[in-house]
Amino acid sequence: MQIVVDLTRCQAYAQCVFLAPQVFSLPGEEALLYRPAVPDDQLERVHQAAAACPVQAILVGEEVSSGAR
């Protein structure tokens, strides 16, 4: 599964980092880093992270190709 994070929307609340630390990271004062290709064992955590994002900056799966938010 593919994900995209809209870094112009991301406010670094880091809910995704807490929920899926193998996919998302927030090193220091820098912008959010993430793995666009999600490993199968992290799918549920990434869906939880996307749902928990206060600004809905994480696009998952079908949303990535359609650009829906």
When the pLDDT of each residue in the chain is averaged and rounded to a whole number, the result is 91
Kindly list the structural domains of the chain, giving each domain's residue range(s) and its CATH number in brackets, ordered by start.
Answer: 3-66 (3.30.70.20)
46 contacts 23 by C-beta, under 8 angstroms: yes
Gap between the Cα atoms of 43 and 30, Å rounded: 25
DSSP 34: E
The predicted pLDDT at position 24 comes to: 98
Q: What is the DSSP string of 44-61?
A: HHHHHHHHH-TT--EEET
42 contacts 20 by C-beta, under 8 angstroms: yes
First to last CA, the chain: 17
* Each residue's pLDDT tens digit, 34-67: 999 999 999 999 999 999 999 999 999 876 666 5
Please determine, for residue 68, whether its predicted confidence score (pLDDT) is greater than 60.
Answer: no
Please determine, for residue 4, whether its predicted confidence score (pLDDT) is greater than 50.
Answer: yes
